[in-house]
Structure 1
Amino acid sequence: MRKIKKALALSLALAMGLSLVACGDKTDNSTTESKSSEATSETASSEDASSEEASSEDASGAAKIEAPSTDGWDDSKKIYAYSWDEDFSKKLKVVLDKFPEYKDYVEFVTLGVGGTSDDYKTGIDTALENGEKYPTLIPADNDVAKYWSEDDTKTANLYDLGFTDEMLANSYDFAKQYGTTDGELKCVTWQATAGSVYYRRDIAKKVLGTDDPAKVQEALASWDKFFETADTLKAAGYKIVSGAPDVKYAIWDTQSQPWVTDDGSKETLTLDKSVTEYLETAKKIYDGEYSNNTSMWDNSWAADMKDDSKVFCYFGCPWFIGSMQGNGATDGNWGAVTGPTSYHWGGTYVCVGKNTNNPELAAFLLYELTCDPDVGVEITNQTGDCVNNKEANARLIAGELSADNAAAKFLGGQNPIEVWAAAAEGINLSNLTYQDASIKAFIDEASTAYNSGTYKSVDEAIKYIQDKCASELGISAE
C-alpha cells in the first residue's frame, strides 16, 4: 500500500470540495456536510436494565460474536465512537438500546464537519496519534473510507477481532467487496445504499398511461429503453431528468476494472469503458434536450423536484428521499424502480482503530450493528435506512416495515425495500480504489466541458482526465 501517496491524494480530493453526500438519516435530511461546525461530545446515558450475555451461536446455530461481560470494567474500558455528524450515533444507539449495559462505556464524539472534508481526516488522524479519546469506531463515507481501511497502521483487521465470513452471510456482496483489503476485513457497513430511479407518478400516468412500477421499469429497463422513453416524454413536453450528471453513479458502477493499479513500484491509470460511456450518455442527454441542463445540488436541480416542474425522474438511493422531501417533492406522488442498471450512491463504512483499548466491545457493537437482523429491522423502522442485512430486508418486505415509514409514504405506499434489496444484489464494488473520488471530480469537469462544446470529442475529454490525474495525483496512463 502506497500510504504516503494515498494521504496526499485524499487530501487533494477533500480540498476539491467534491459534491459528495453521505447516507444520512431521512428524518432530518442529514448529509456529510454538517450544518454545525462546533464539535460535540456526549456520553451515552446508562440504564438499569441489562441484557443476557450472548452465546457464541444463536438459536439457529449461526456463529456470532459473544457479548463481553462488563464485570470488573471501569472508565478505562470506555471507547470513543467518532463521526462527522450525528447520523452514526443514531444508528449505534439502536444497538445500545438493546444492550444498555454498554451505554456507560461508549462516548460519541461528533466533530461537526463535512464527512469528506479535510477537517474530518485531520480530526480523526490527530486523535489516533495523540491517544486522548482514541477513536475506536471510525465511520467514513465510501469515497474516503479506504484512506483508513487500507492503512494497517491505523485500523484493525476485523477478522482478528472475531468476525468470520459466516457472520457476514446476510451481507450483500458489494459491502464485503468494499470492506476487504488484501484478504483482511477492514471495515463494515450497516447500510445498503442501493441506487434506484424515483419517478413522478402523475407524469407516468399522463405520458406512459400507468404509474405501475412494473410497467415503468419496463420503460427504463435499459439505456436504449431509457432514451426511447426520453423521446416519448420530450414529445409530451417533459424532461426525463433534470441534468445530464444525474445518471453518473449508475454508469460509473459498471466499472469492469480498477481505474488505478499498483504494481509495487508505480501506480497506473486505466480508464475503462464506464468513463467513456458516461461521457457519451451525458452528452446525448445534453444535446438531445432531454434535461433542463442543471447541475446536481444547485437550486434549479432542487426546484425540479417540485410538482410544478416537468422533470420525470431522479436517480437516487435510500437517503436521497430525505433530500427530495426537503426540496419540496410531494409524498405519494413518486414511485421507485431499479432502472437501467444496479448501482450504489454513498454509504458509511466503519473501521476500528488499531490500538483500541476495548476490542471486544468494539467488535460486538459492530457485529450487532451490521449482522443482527433484529437490529437491522429496528434501524429501518426508526430511521428509514435500508440495511445491509438480507434477512432483515426479507422480514421488512414480508410485513415488518413500519406503517409510518417515511419512504413508503413518499412512494405512495410502495414498499421501498423490495426495490432497494433487489438492486443491492447486483452491485459490484470490487474495482473501487482510494483515488476514485479525485478521478470522478475530473470526469465531472471533463463531461461539463464536453457537453458545452469546449471539447469536441470524447478523446479530448479523456485526455483532460488523464492530464489531471498525472499532474495532480502523480498517476499516468499506460
Structure 2
Amino acid sequence: MKRKWALLMAGVMAFGMAMTGSAAEAETNTDLSGTLEVWGWTTDPEYQIEAFEKAYPNVTVNYTMIGTDYDTKMQTIVDNRTEGPDVFYADVKTVKNYIESDAWETLTDDPYNIDVSDSEDYTVKLGSDSDGNVKALSYQATPGGFWYKRDLAKKYLGTDDPDEISEMLSTTEGMLDVAEKLKEGSNGETHMFASYKDLWQFANYGMRSVAWVDGNKFQMDDYIPEFFDLAKTVRDNDYDAKIDTWSEAWYASCADDSVFGYAEPTWGLQYVIQTGAPDSEGNWGIASMPAAYFNGGSYLGVYQESQNKELAAEYVKFVCTNKDFLTQYANDKGDYTSLKSVNKEIADSGYEESWCAGQNTFKFFSDQMDKINTDIVTKYDDTIGNLMLNNVDLYLNGQLDKDAAIAQFKDDVASNYRRLDVE
C-alpha cells in the first residue's frame, strides 16, 4: 500500500526500529529464553509471533490455531484448571467469560507490572475484572463507521466526501433518506445495506444505553422495540440486499454495485473489503453513523495454570504495549492499535489510506474513540443479541407480529439463562 509516512517514519527511525519483511525487529533481548505455548483461533498471532521471536531470539513460540470450537475447548480447560497454553487469545464477546472464570493472571501486579498508561482506556476496562484488576490486553482498538463505495456515492448522492456523507448519515432518518436515494437512483439495483443486521453492528453498542443483565436481572433497553421498527422499515422498503453476513455472497457484494456500504469497525478494511474486493483500492471512504460504536477486538492474557508465566507476560507486554512493534503493525496492516501514542502520531502525521483515496482513517477512528460506550458490555451480549435477531427475523418474515416477537425474545432469554429474572 502506498501511504505517506514522512513524519511517522521519521519517528520510527528515532525508535531505532529495523524493518524486516512484514514484521518489525525491535531491539533484541537475549536475556530471556524458553518456549511458549500460545493458542488462538485465527492466523493473526502469526505476525505477532514473528516479531516477538525476532525481538527475543532465544525464545520459541509454538502457536496452536483451533477451529470453530475454540471457545468451547478453552472454556472447558479453564473451568477444570487443566493443562493448556501459556497465553491464549479471546474475542471481545468472550473475554468477560474468561475474566469471570479467573482464567488469567493480573498483568499489572507483581511480578509482571505491565504499564497500561498508554493503552486506550476502553481496552483496559474491557480486559479488567469488576475490581479493576487487568486480566487481558489487546493490541487493537476497534471503533467503527460506515465503509462506502465512492463511485456509487458520487453517482447517486452527488459527493463522495466523507464529511458530507457523515452529515447525511448523522441521524437515523438521514440514513434512511440516503437509502431511498440509492434505491431510486439505481432503480433498485443498489441497496444501502447487505442486510438489516448491518444496522445491529452499530446499534448494539451505539444505540443501547443499558446492559442486557444487571446482577441477576435481564434488562431490555428502550431502544430494542425501535430496532424492530427500523429493521422492518429497511426490509419493507428494499433497502437491504438480504445477504447473510460472512457468506460468500456478502464478500462478493464488496466488488459489485449491489451494496453501497458496510457498518464495520477498523478491521473491516482488512478482513472484509480487501478480502471481498481486492481490486477496489481507492474506491472506499468511511463515514460516521447516527451513533459511535465499536465491534470486536482480540484480547490475550497469561493462563493461571501456565508454568512459564513471566515469559508469557513478556509476550503479552510486547504484543499489546510495545510502541515499536505496534507502530510497525499499523504500518503493515493499516489496523488501528491499542496505544494512544501510536494512534495519535499516525493520525497527526497526515496519514493517507490508499484504499480510501487518501482519507486519514486514523484521524477518523481517533475522533470516534471518545464517543464509544463500553460500559454496557457483558458476557451475555453475543448470545442475547443473536436471540434478538432470530426474533427480528420471525417478525420480518411475517411469522410473528412485533409484540409477539419481543415476547418470544424474552422467553428465549429465560430459557437460555434460567438463573436470570426475566420480566
Query: Could you tell me the TM-score, scaled by structure 1's length?
Result: 0.75
Distance of aligned partners of 1:293 and 1:331 in 2 relative to their CA distance in 1, 3 Å threshold: same
Structure 2 distance, partners of 1:147, 1:420, is 28
What secondary structure sits across from 2:146 in the alignment? strand
Structure 1 distance, partners of 2:49, 2:370, is 25
Distance of aligned partners of 1:415 and 1:109 in 2 relative to their CA distance in 1, 3 Å threshold: same
Unpaired stretches in structure 2, ≥5 consecutive residues: 1-24
Contact residue 41 and residue 67 of structure 2 kept, 8 A: yes
1:207-266 superposed Cα distances (whole Å, 9 cap, x missing partner) = 22111111111111221221122222222123211211111020010332221122xxxx
Amino acid at match of 1:453: G
Structure 2 distance, partners of 1:288, 1:212, is 26
1:470 alignment partner in structure 2: 414
Structure 2 distance, partners of 1:51, 1:299, is 43
Distance of aligned partners of 1:256 and 1:423 in 2 relative to their CA distance in 1, 3 Å threshold: same
1:84 to 27, 41, 55: 41
Amino acid at match of 1:290: Y
1:279 to 228, 235, 240: 228
1:198 to 139, 147, 162: 147
Q: Provide runs of 4+ in structure 1 moved above 6 Å.
A: none
What secondary structure sits across from 2:173 in the alignment? helix
1:454 alignment partner in structure 2: 399
Contact residue 162 and residue 363 of structure 1 kept, 8 A: no
Distance of aligned partners of 1:156 and 1:400 in 2 relative to their CA distance in 1, 3 Å threshold: farther
| CA apart distance, 1:88 | 1.8
2:211 paired with 1:258: yes
| CA apart distance, 1:439 | 0.6
What is the count of residue pairs matched by the alignment?
391
Contact residue 250 and residue 341 of structure 1 kept, 8 A: yes
2:383 paired with 1:431: no
Amino acid at match of 1:461: A
1:332-362 superposed Cα distances (whole Å, 9 cap, x missing partner) = 1111122222112211111211133333333
Query: Could you tell me the TM-score, scaled by structure 2's length?
Result: 0.84
1:112 to 61, 66, 71: 66
Structure 2 distance, partners of 1:49, 1:215, is 41
Distance of aligned partners of 1:288 and 1:116 in 2 relative to their CA distance in 1, 3 Å threshold: farther
Structure 2 distance, partners of 1:108, 1:344, is 31
* 1:28-427 map, 5 Å: 51=28, 69-70=31-32, 75=34, 78-97=35-54, 99-101=55-57, 103-104=58-59, 106-114=60-68, 117-122=71-76, 124-125=77-78, 129-131=81-83, 134-152=84-102, 154-161=103-110, 167-183=115-131, 184-237=133-186, 238-253=190-205, 254-262=207-215, 267-307=216-256, 309-321=257-269, 322-328=271-277, 330-399=280-349, 408-427=353-372
Identical pairs, percent: 25
What secondary structure sits across from 1:387 in the alignment? coil
1:376-429 superposed Cα distances (whole Å, 9 cap, x missing partner) = 11111123321111110122223386x8xxxx2321222321222222332222
1:70-91 superposed Cα distances (whole Å, 9 cap, x missing partner) = 3xx6x5xx33222123212322
Amino acid at match of 1:363: A
What secondary structure sits across from 1:228 in the alignment? helix
Structure 2 distance, partners of 1:231, 1:182, is 45
What secondary structure sits across from 1:242 in the alignment? coil
